[in-house]
Chains A and B, each alone.
Chain A
Amino acid sequence: MLEACQLRYAFHAQPPLFEDVSLRLGAGEWIGLSGDSGAGKSTLGRLLAGHDEPAHGHIRIDGEQLPAKGLRPVQWLPQSPELAVNPHWRVTRVLNEAWAPPETLRRAFGIKPEWLNRPVRTLSGGELQRVCVLRALAPGVRYLIADEISTMLDPITQLALWQALKAEAEKRKLGVLVISHDAALLRRLCQRRYHLENARLHAAEHYQLS
């Protein structure tokens, strides 16, 4: 169980972006998170994956702190895949950064063999996002924070990506936090949904999401 307890985050001397945010994500569970731009969704996602430190509160996995070294069991997938890879590397190097994904999985995520030897900058955003998602599925990863990963993709690619991820997550009982503005997507994928507004986290059932 990934647990966030009473998280508070503020940029320097600014008023808190959010406070008293508590969240639980179980194995195999899919949770949705929505909120206006600038509400702090991505920051919350980064905190949960250990990419940033909260001003107050803590994050635990089965009661333990996130490990300081080695593969982190929580992986953050950012919206812009171009920023998530070394721009000078080739696709195969990025894909194998943490593990060597088998060919069956590469095929399931629509990663073509001819991409492997290409520099990452020659791939489109959608193609690169698939590489980033598969890279993050290394053995030992138990939770994924998918931060608007399909926003910049066309509907067909979106569907293919979510289907591949859903199948793999179900097989491995991965817990997934889906951050998105798309209410229909969240309704379809997630068992529970939250909305971040006025620096607080609310159950989304109380909100009419657009």
Chain B
Amino acid sequence: MKTTQPRLRALVCSSLLALLLLALLYAQWWLGDLPTRMQFEARLAPPGLDHWLGTDALGRELWARTLAGLALSFQVGFLAALLGSAIALGLALLATFSSRLDALISMLIDTLLSVPHLVLLLLIAFALGGGLQAVVIAVAITHWPGLARVLRAELLQLRAAPYIGISRALGKSRGFILLHHFLPHALPHCLVGALLLFPHAILHEAALTFLGVGLSPSQPAIGLLLADAMRYLSGGYWWLGVFPGLGLLLMVLSIERIASSARRAL
């Protein structure tokens, strides 16, 4: 029972995420303009048969807006995790070249880790003018140091392994060792790191959008839905905040659970 439970949990999370992903991938096609279509006769309608998750102040369907928002969040999370882990992997590989480069990269990692990353995130997103690109870049720049530190330690340990020295003595170039010894060793760690970075990126996107320096107000982002919901919460319109929040929680938890399972399997 002890061994099947985590597997079952991982399976449930993977299936849930796969379903969510399918829904999100096709959201743009089958939702059409539904997330932005206004129905003034049905403003702030509660959840029911006509409006499954209710509508917002402009009469827009909340279920469509939540799905579209999750699709956007997923896109941001994926791109930011990809970019962040690519930076981390590149710099960790570079650190194995020489002790001087390693010292420089370590200093950069320590410096970035010592700055509260939410402040840096806000500054970068603001400086880049907001929008999807700015959010992706801001999240990637502020989140690579943690993963880079792990990868760097892993690769420096590997550099001291006898088979690396032997490979060099057998005439293999630095490029060969990097591609055939270091990279395959680092990739599984990098994948887990990227998976763990994913939910962070999604939450930060929502936070940045909530604070007004993230995605554009015309896009149905989760952060924006939550910020809107804040204005109506005191009026008893609970569905405006609960459903987008639950959707975000479900997605983040599923990804986190899969990343933890992957880390344990490693």
A interface residues (Cβ-Cβ under 8 A, vs B): 49-51, 69-72, 74-76, 78, 80, 83-86, 88, 97-98, 135-136, 138
- Tell me if B181 counts as interface (CB < 8 A to partner A): yes
Check B1 for interface membership: any CB of A closer than 8 A. no
CB-CB < 8 A to A136: which residues of B? 170
Pairwise interchain contact B169-A49, C-beta atoms closer than 8 A: yes
B167: chain A residues within 8 A (beta carbon): 86, 97
Number of interface residues of B (CB under 8 A): 15
CA distance A70 to B173 in the complex (A): 7
Distance of B201 from chain A, by nearest CB (Å): 30
Residues of A within 8 A of B163 (CB): 83-86
In the complex, A50 Cα to B169 Cα: how many Å? 8
Q: Are A83 and B162 in contact (CB under 8 A)?
A: yes
- Does B185 count as interface, using CB distance less than 8 angstroms? yes
- Whether B162 contacts A78 by the Cβ 8 Å rule is yes
**B171 contacts across to A, CB distance below 8 A:** 69-72, 98, 138
Interface check B115, CB cutoff 8 A: no
Q: Are B165 and A51 in contact (CB under 8 A)?
A: yes
Distance between A144 CB and nearest chain B CB, rounded to angstroms? 12
Chain B residues near A135 (CB, 8 Å)? 170
* Residues of A with C-beta under 8 A to B165: 51
A71 to B171, CA, bound (A): 4
B184 at the interface (CB under 8 A from A): yes
- B172 contact from A74, A84, A97, Cβ within 8 A: A97
A170 to B173 Cα, complex, angstroms: 30
B window 65-82: CB within 8 A of A: none
Give 20 new A-B contacts, CB below 8 A, not counting A70-B171, A84-B166, A98-B171: A49-B169, A50-B169, A51-B169, A69-B171, A69-B173, A71-B169, A71-B170, A72-B169, A72-B170, A75-B170, A76-B166, A80-B162, A84-B163, A86-B163, A86-B167, A86-B180, A86-B181, A97-B167, A98-B170, A98-B172
- Whether A75 and B169, one on each chain, are in contact in the complex, defined by CB atoms closer than 8 angstroms, is yes
Looking at chain B's contact residues, the main secondary structure is helix
Ordered by A's residue number, 30 sampled pairs between the chains whose C-beta atoms are within 8 Å are: A49-B169, A50-B169, A51-B165, A51-B169, A69-B171, A71-B169, A71-B170, A72-B170, A75-B166, A75-B169, A75-B170, A78-B162, A78-B166, A80-B162, A83-B161, A83-B162, A84-B162, A84-B166, A85-B163, A86-B163, A86-B180, A88-B184, A97-B167, A97-B170, A98-B171, A98-B172, A135-B170, A136-B170, A138-B170, A138-B171
Nearest CB of A to B144, in Å? 25
Name the A residues within 8 Å of B181 (CB-CB).
86
Q: Which of B13-44 contact A (CB under 8 A)?
A: none
Most buried by A among B171, B180, B184, B185: B171
Q: How far is the CA of A69 from the CA of B167 in the complex (A)?
A: 11
Shortest CB–CB separation between residue A81 and chain B, in angstroms?
Answer: 10
Chain B residues, CB < 8 A from A51: 165, 169
Contacting residues, chain B, for A97 (C-beta < 8 A): 167, 170, 172
What 5 A-B pairs come out closest when comparing CB atoms? Answer: A71-B171, A98-B170, A72-B169, A83-B162, A70-B171
- CA–CA, A50 and B166, complex, Å: 10
Q: How far does the alpha carbon of A72 sit from the alpha carbon of B184 in the complex, in Å?
A: 25
Residue in chain A with minimal CB distance to B181: A86
Contact residues, B164-188 vs A (CB, 8 A): 165-167, 169-173, 180-181, 184-185
**Most interface-central of B169, B170, B180 (chain A CB within 10 A):** B169
CB distance from A49 to the nearest CB of B (A): 6
Q: Give the nearest-CB partner of B174 in chain A.
A: A69
Nearest-neighbour CB distance to chain A for B181, whole angstroms, equals 6
Q: State A98–B180 Cα separation when bound (angstroms).
A: 14
**Closest chain A CB from B42 CB (angstroms):** 59
Roughly how many angstroms separate A68 CA and B163 CA in the complex, as a whole number?
A: 17
The docked-state distance in angstroms from the alpha carbon of A128 to that of B172 is 20
A97 and B163 alpha carbons, distance in the complex (Å): 11
